[in-house]
Structure 1
Amino acid sequence: MIDKKKVTSEKTVLIGVVTQHQDEVKAKEFLDELEFLVKTAGGVSVKRFVQNVEKPHPKTFIGSGKLEEVKRYIDSNHIGTAVFDDELSPAQLRNIEKVLDCKILDRTNLILDIFAQRAQTSYARTQVALAQCQYLLPRLTKLWTHLDKQKGGIGLRGPGETEIETDRRIVRDQISVLKKKLVTIDKQMAIQRKNRGQLVRVALVGYTNVGKSTLMNVVSKSDVFAENKLFATLDTTVRKVVIKNLPFLMTDTVGFIRKLPTQLVESFKSTLDEVREADFLLHVVDISHKNFEDHIESVNKILGEIESADKPVMMVFNMIDAYEHETIDEDDLVTEKTKAHYTLEELKKSWMSKMENNCVFISALHKQNLEDFKSRVYEEVKKIHIKRFPYNSFLYDEYTEEG
């Protein structure tokens, strides 16, 4: 029987690098996020190791000296897991494992593990299983460390190579089976989308843990699972919403994250099809997060990758109730005022002011400014609806009066 207390308190160390492309501030931000990922997965991070390098070491990600420092700490503090804040190559993984002699996870593996925990439906589980198999395939050799001394090559092909190839074949076969299963489910989902008729489709997109599911629950009066953890929602949820008698479909989608594993983008293709086929996007942002502008950039990048960057979009700045700013004493003539010192009103007058009617500020949790949000969404949906059904556009005045 699994001891749940031990599972939830698995001790880990986090390892990252400062490079020419990732300064100290950015490295700290990524490690903060990695710590949240570890917490979401059921672990606890007890120490961070950061090394300044021009670029990650091709063999061990960090230098040998720093790796030995990590090993000493792991051994003396009985740490079971080391988590690296980047995807490790198969060679790096194998080399690091030999030195540290503990469980090694990289950012990709950790995210895949969280997805595996969170997947509820057969479809989501199939998508995650495919991503895991694609990640595992080039890394299978590390499973056969007991055969290290049996070298392959001409005339020296021993049982080690045979077992590895057998294992690879099993995983390849599994990938093939999962892909076929996804194709079948994809066709079923395509039919479902087609059967929804010509109702306008609105998709909620955004970084993970920004309140999309909470907003979905409030607007659609439904009960979509929402939790203060990363990737609380994996399964796409579609609800019919009516604002001022105008019906449309609202979709809650999986949250994005920086350094999103390519395997997940590929395996969650159909889930992302909900975004591709949407008529209008609501880009939800946690404005209380200090890195919310980076989150916006990351989401826009992924929208570009899935060919959805040119869709009509409205920015929904959520969690205004949690927004905080640093204050400067009136007598302080040294400290330079930056974005960190902006009040919410000052922030609205910054680059956001150029967005005009394409942004709204709300708190989904405390239902602040939701009427303004609904009114803005109604106007955008109405524009699309009129183009699609011009013959009944005269009804909108009646809708507004009745609503």
Structure 2
Amino acid sequence: MEKVLLVGIRLPGVPHRDINVSIDELSRLAETVNALVVDTIIQTRQRYDPGHLISKDKAKEISGIAKANNIRTIIFNKELTPTQQRNLEETIGAKIIDRTRLILDIFARRARTKEGALQVELAQYTYFLPRITKQGLWLDGQVGGIGTRGPGERKLEYDRRRIRDHIVKLKNQIDSIRSHRDLQRRRRKASGIPVIDIIGYTNVGKSTLFNAIIKKNAVYADDKLFATLDPTIRNLTLPSGKKILVTDTVGFIRDLPHQLIMAFRATLEEITSADCLIHLIDAISSEHDVQEKVVFDTISELGAINVPLIRVYNKCDLLNKRQLKPRILKDDLFISAKTDRGIDKLLIKIDEM
């Protein structure tokens, strides 16, 4: 396992709880790529340092900690500018990764279809383009490990013009996929079969619910962030006999890199044409309210805010009745995708939509 050290910054007005939650999520992202989190450092500052993000003295302190603990990689909980990344590399003397690059790396590992691979490749090239120097791509002076899963698993071109040309090519390929998806959506609409999309924050159990609903292990489900990347659609017959299509989708996360939103827009826009959305929420998460807002903001940005929505709380098997009662709202459903508890009520609710 690759040893890593996490770095966060708390600015004035940001509660300690928020930065702690953010760092905890960064830790889970790191663990998703099999990293071993050795230490965490949070610096309180009035503003971000334009040269290093953190203070140069703090960067030197981190350098000492990294050398003493044989830590190869430092992960920052904020996207770094190309200048900040180069300066930190030189000051600390270790591989520097930011949150955006870490998420891009996870997506590169998760892509299982040609479409997914193209979208990840576009996001990565868009991220790396401004980080090309006269000496080539700033590869942190090291080869391999976290953050080095290259676009399409090919060596990055060092020439900016060739990269821009390749980005145009990727966009054209994705536009072709987008046109094909539009055609598929029109055909589904013409068939009159309703489409139900399962959406939610990453790792809330969407794939487990999808498998529970269709009674098959159709998609990979795991207790990892972004276990599902490529959307999967299956037929389902409801208790009334009505036939529908159910879609498992990629999970959302706070501050999802802009590069990924743009690259995966063709995939994410699937939810705008859905007849109903199942918003799955982790009932045991202390951050479920924040996660709900992230999902709400994302579907708003995609233009799907007016699509009918069923709010479903998952993992209720891990809550007792006293915990459940204060949370119950009139139209909310509480289920356990793992034990099938409440699935029958959910199917009836879908049938009524």
Q: 1:199 corresponds to which residue?
A: 193
CA distance in 2, matches of 1:66, 1:24: 19
Deviation readout 1:20-69 (Å, 9 max, x if unpaired): 25321111101100000001012111100001112222211111221111
CA distance in 1, matches of 2:213, 2:135: 49
Deviation at 1:179, TM superposition (A): 0.8
Structure 1 counterpart of 2:100, from 105, 108, 113: 108
Q: Do the aligned partners of 2:207 and 2:248 also contact (CA within 8 Å) in 1?
A: yes
Residue ranges of structure 2 left out of the alignment (5+ in a row)? 139-155
Q: 2:118 corresponds to which residue?
A: 126
Q: Which amino acid aligns with 2:220?
A: F
Give yes or no for the alignment of 1:140 onto 2:135.
no
CA distance in 2, matches of 1:322, 1:34: 24
Deviation at 1:322, TM superposition (A): 2.2
Query: Number of matched residues?
Result: 332
SS in 2 for 1:54: coil
Structure 2 counterpart of 1:273, from 269, 272, 286: 269
Larger Rg over CA atoms: 1
Q: Which amino acid aligns with 1:214?
A: T
Deviation readout 1:121-161 (Å, 9 max, x if unpaired): 00000000000000000111285499xxxxxxxxxxxxxxx
Deviation at 1:77, TM superposition (A): 1.1
Instruction: Report runs of 4+ in structure 1 exceeding 4 Å deviation.
Output: 142-146
Q: Do the aligned partners of 1:14 and 1:83 also contact (CA within 8 Å) in 2?
A: yes
Q: Structure 2 length as normaliser, TM-score?
A: 0.90
Residue ranges of structure 1 left out of the alignment (5+ in a row)? 1-8, 147-163, 326-341, 381-403
Deviation at 1:194, TM superposition (A): 2.4
Q: Do the aligned partners of 2:79 and 2:98 also contact (CA within 8 Å) in 1?
A: yes
Q: What do you get for the CA RMSD once the two structures are aligned?
A: 1.9
CA distance in 2, matches of 1:190, 1:308: 16
Deviation readout 1:5-33 (Å, 9 max, x if unpaired): xxxx0000000011125321111101100
Q: Which amino acid aligns with 1:343?
A: Q
Q: Structure 1 length as normaliser, TM-score?
A: 0.79
Structure 1 counterpart of 2:298, from 298, 302, 317: 302
Deviation at 1:101, TM superposition (A): 1.5
Q: 1:209 corresponds to which residue?
A: 203
Q: 1:367 corresponds to which residue?
A: 340
Give yes or no for the alignment of 1:283 onto 2:263.
no
Structure 2 counterpart of 1:69, from 61, 68, 84: 61
CA distance in 1, matches of 2:135, 2:123: 18
Give yes or no for the alignment of 1:347 onto 2:327.
yes
Kindly tell me: are residues 178 and 324 of structure 1, through their superposed partners in 2, closer, same or farther at Cα, counting changes over 3 Å? farther
CA distance in 2, matches of 1:73, 1:95: 18
Q: 2:178 corresponds to which residue?
A: 186
CA distance in 1, matches of 2:250, 2:123: 15
Q: Do the aligned partners of 1:14 and 1:45 also contact (CA within 8 Å) in 2?
A: yes
Deviation readout 1:296-349 (Å, 9 max, x if unpaired): 011111111111122211111001112379xxxxxxxxxxxxxxxx6221222x
CA distance in 2, matches of 1:305, 1:238: 23
SS in 1 for 2:133: helix
More helix by proportion, 1 or 2? 1
Give yes or no for the alignment of 1:378 onto 2:351.
yes
Identity %: 37
CA distance in 1, matches of 2:158, 2:5: 34
CA distance in 2, matches of 1:183, 1:344: 45
Deviation at 1:372, TM superposition (A): 1.2
